[in-house]
Structure 1
Amino acid sequence: MNKFPGMEKFNILSEEYGINDLDVIRAYFSFMMTAQKANGRVESHLSHFGTTSTQLSILLTLYLNHNKPETAGNISKKFGLSAPTISNVIKTLCQKKFIKKVKDKSDKRVYKITMTEEGYRFLNGLIPEYHSRYKKIFSEFTDEELKCLERISLKLFHNIDLFG
């Protein structure tokens, strides 16, 4: 397999900044390059459906929770995105009629978010295609590699909060 672009120049960091643990930087750079490329490809494809990966993630979260109501605050925490960003995404999903907001009976300042039938229809049209695309991406992975990737991703997901 080829190396990530620019990896051969990592010794510059050691020489110019005295960074000796290049394995951490290589791992982070590899992760970021992969995440950026994946996000770019997914966003480009989702634009054909008039949606974004963040919108899709929120819809999938509601779907996988069996449409158990969520709050914008909980969604913000799950995805590590700011409240204004989540608020804008929720507003867009409401305009598309994929979700609806209902005031919480016990706290009128809070809105509970649920998916609509239109949201379910949208996902039903999208999920089978995305499943086939993901199968292609991971087709050369063994079952053990897939499990390992999931474990590593989960560990990284939780450790990202340490970034600040």
Structure 2
Amino acid sequence: MVGNSTNVRLEMEVCNLDAVFIELQSAIQKSNRLLQLKLKKEFLKRRSVIYLIAIFLNQGITMQDLALLMQVDKGTITKTIKSLCAAGVIKKLQDEKDKRIWHLYSADNLDEFYLEINSQYNQIFSSLFNNYSEEKIELLKSYITRITNNINTLKSLH
């Protein structure tokens, strides 16, 4: 019977972790959707804002490096970049030495839009953490950092 008790406890812990993961995913999706609604930009698809920020902060990043940074496959990057180029918010320039490589830059008009994104993010996240002390926020950050480090460790094992 001791073995069954341990198995039940482990299953409950896994269920609790699943619930935490689901809640975390839901919170991220809802906050991204809220940001999209606040910005009222029709070209913003799922996760587009994150790509825009990454490109804005890493001018000239290659599509391959962006895929690594965002931890997505080449097809996802290609599709997202195509829609952002069509919307006129990023520029794609071919490498002079290696024609297979494309560098990504924010469009000239993106500076103001980035400030708007940053402002909206700050408003949303300050509202999300309105009733939390600085200690609780720092604790949450440390948990998320540890989770990310654990994920990176698991990825390096495969």
TM-score by shorter chain over 0.5? yes
Q: 1:142 & 1:44 partners in 2: Cα distance? A: 23
User: What is the deviation of 1:85?
Assistant: 0.8
Gap runs ≥5 in structure 2: none
The correspondence for 2:76, drawn from 74, 79, 85, is 85
Poorly superposed stretches of 4+, deviation over 4 Å: none
Give the aligned residue type for 1:127. N
Q: Which residue matches 1:49? A: 41
The correspondence for 1:61, drawn from 45, 54, 60, is 54
User: What is the deviation of 1:38?
Assistant: 3.1
Tell me how many residue pairs correspond in the alignment.
147
Q: 1:73 & 1:20 partners in 2: Cα distance? A: 43
Q: 1:58 & 1:106 partners in 2: Cα distance? A: 25
User: What is the deviation of 1:60?
Assistant: 1.1
Q: Which residue matches 2:24? A: 34
Q: 1:150 & 1:33 partners in 2: Cα distance? A: 16
The correspondence for 1:101, drawn from 55, 71, 92, is 92
Q: 1:152 & 1:63 partners in 2: Cα distance? A: 27
1:129 aligns with 2:120: yes
TM-score w.r.t. the length of structure 1 is 0.75
Give the aligned residue type for 2:139. C
Q: CA RMSD in A?
A: 2.5
Q: 1:19 & 1:121 partners in 2: Cα distance? A: 54
Q: Which range moved further: 154-163 or 108-117?
A: 154-163
Q: Which residue matches 1:141? A: 132
CA offsets 1:76-108 (integer angstroms, 9 cap, x no match): 122222211111111111111111111112321
TM-score w.r.t. the length of structure 2 is 0.77
Gap runs ≥5 in structure 1: 1-13
Does the CA-based 8 Å contact 1:98-1:116 persist in structure 2?
A: yes
Give the aligned residue type for 1:33. E
Q: Which residue matches 1:115? A: 106
Q: 2:147 & 2:97 partners in 1: Cα distance? A: 36
Does the CA-based 8 Å contact 1:43-1:52 persist in structure 2?
A: no
Q: 2:45 & 2:145 partners in 1: Cα distance? A: 22
Task: Quickly say closer, same or farther: Cα 1:41–1:134, change in 2 above 3 A.
Answer: closer
User: What is the deviation of 1:24?
Assistant: 4.4
Q: 2:23 & 2:149 partners in 1: Cα distance? A: 19
